[in-house]
Structure 1
Amino acid sequence: MVSLQDHCADTEAYRPPGFCHPNIQNRTKFRLVMQLYGKSIEHFTSRAQATSALRDAILASRSFFERYLTPRGLSMQNILLGHFGASPRLRGILIDLDMAIWTTSDISKLRANMGLGTRQSIGVLHNLQCQLPPRHDHLDDLESFFYVLCHLVLLFESPGCRSKAMNDMFAEWETVESLHTLVVLKSAKLYDYCQWPTSLWWGEVAETLLKGFQDILWPIVQRKTTAR
């Protein structure tokens, strides 16, 4: 961060005196100047750069959670590549926290929000069908990072080269109207990724990473789905 002006104006200052409405809340404008980092993570040029950026973004998300903040709305577009030769924790920069919410907020604000369906967790999508969905938590964000990893190692056969089959599959995720159908598609991805192997460019290490991430998440998804 270069500089911060944490209180520029309040929206309530532009409303008539005594104005009040239950669905309209005050918003505070602030200015934040940050360093210029690289392009989004999809513009990676090496395996190490891609996986290091994702790792540091996950660590950033954990740091936010330790400060009672849940980022939400995670995708490849809000993970930037750090400068060449950057030290650990600066190789991937998490930006665009417009969907972030304090974990201490009222439960009505913490409830699941649709956001980007392609990267939303199964639990969030499943519970959007409920009248009173439970809160979006850090485990939902962790699952979103898994889908970012899927986009990296399955969609891209090499830097800048997309797999047509994978591109069509992820495009289907974008256009599916039924939440239930999207949940089924994502469950298949989490349960058995082997039907979509990585390219030779990514190699066995990437498959091991994907499988390890999957092994962590699938039991969590099952428990959360049952509990919710």
Structure 2
Amino acid sequence: MGVNWTNHDMVFQRIVTVQYGDSMYDFDGERETLAAIRDAIAAHQRLLERGILHGDISLGNILFGGPHAPEDLRGVLIDLDVAVEAQFDENPIGHGFSGTFPCISLLQLHGKGRRFKVAHDYFDDLESFFWVLIQIIYDHDFYDEQPWAKEFFYHCRIEDVVQAADAKRAFLAHKLEKSDMPMWWSEECRELVIGFQAFVNAVVTDKEAIVGDMTEMWDIEALRKMRTRREEHYGCVLGMFDVALSALE
């Protein structure tokens, strides 16, 4: 029995870029690391302004800009293989699920399989940047010595959406103190982490109040109104990084 194939014209493309540095897995210097995350967040904002949502923020998808990289190129956002057109306001209910598990946002985890799951939006990606930073702050040498940190990362990595969501909700609800973080990080860096946690917790709490448990329809306009403050949200996060980086010069 024959098979009818539909032919589509295809165009081969090759993109040549400059050679960038290592991935965030190979983080070393404190200021270099914070600058890379900061510039990756700024790149994410520029993508969004062009109508593209990255959708897979992770340690492996941020590269260092390389030696002597100029500001705005100290961190490079790569791997747009799951990137989509930013249509979360037009299509507020989204059943898609993407991302690298340890960095997936709380509400995307919580909503998986729910009938009225909120669509992936820029809030989710900003939260993923926070989890990238947390993985770096509590690196292996530290959490191997701290039972609570080891347990937290275990739940974030086993790909159980319920356990991962519960672990992240508990982490956000616990107000971080400087003493909760390894002392080899500077005071400015630890203040940044505390501020970033407070920002993410506030956003997640506000979104939770709107979407509930996502088993029934929620107020779409309330979430759209929250997203109208996009510039303010990016400005708040980038501002915290800029303050820390300025102090570390």
TM-score (norm 2): 0.73
Q: Is 1:153 aligned with 2:172?
A: no
SS in 1 for 2:13: strand
Structure 1 stretch displaced more, 74-83 or 165-174: 165-174
| Displacement of 1:78 | 0.6
1:190 to 148, 162, 172: 172
* Larger displacement relative to structure 2 (118-127 or 128-137): 128-137
Matched residue SS, 1:30: coil
Unaligned runs of 5+ in 1: 1-14, 20-24
Aligned with 2:101: secondary structure? coil
Which residues of 2 match residues 12-161 of structure 1 at below 5 A? 16-18=4-6, 30-104=13-87, 107=91, 111-155=95-139, 161=141
Provide the secondary structure at the position in 1 that maps to 2:14: strand
CA distance in 2, matches of 1:208, 1:172: 25
Taking only the aligned residue pairs, the percentage that are identical comes to 28
When the two structures are aligned, how many residues end up with a matched partner?
A: 204
Higher RCO (CA-CA < 8 Å; seq separation 6+): 2
What aligned pairs does 1:154-173 form with structure 2 within 5 A after superposition?
Answer: 154-155=138-139, 161=141, 163-164=143-144, 165=146, 166=149, 169-173=152-156
CA 1:204–1:131 in 2, change beyond 3 Å: closer, same or farther? Answer: same
The CA distance in 2 between the partners of 1:26 and 1:41, in whole Å, is 38
The structure in which a higher percent of residues are strand is 1
Give the root-mean-square deviation of aligned CA atoms.
Answer: 2.8
- The Cα shift of 1:217 comes to 1.3
SS at 2:63's partner residue? strand
Distance 1:212 1:117 in 2: 23
Among 132, 146, 163, the alignment partner of 1:181 is 163
* SS across alignment from 1:32: coil
Using the alignment, how far apart are the partners of 1:27 and 1:204 within structure 2?
A: 53
What is the CA-CA distance between 1:167 and the residue it aligns to? 5.1
The structure-2 alpha-carbon separation of the partners of 1:138 and 1:45, relative to structure 1 and needing over 3 Å to count, comes to same
* Cα distance, 1:123–1:211 mapped onto 2, change above 3 Å: same
Unaligned segments of structure 2, at least 5 residues: 212-249
Q: 1:220 is matched with which residue?
A: 203
> Which residue type is aligned with residue 121 of structure 2?
D
Change (3 A) 1:28 1:127: farther
Task: Return the alpha-carbon distance in structure 2 between the equivalents of residues 146 and 225 of structure 1.
Answer: 18
Q: Cα 1:198–1:103, aligned 2, differ >3 Å: closer, same or farther? A: same
- For residue 209 of structure 1, the aligned residue among 184, 192, 198 is 192
Asked whether the 8 Å contact 1:71–1:100 carries over to 2, the reply is yes
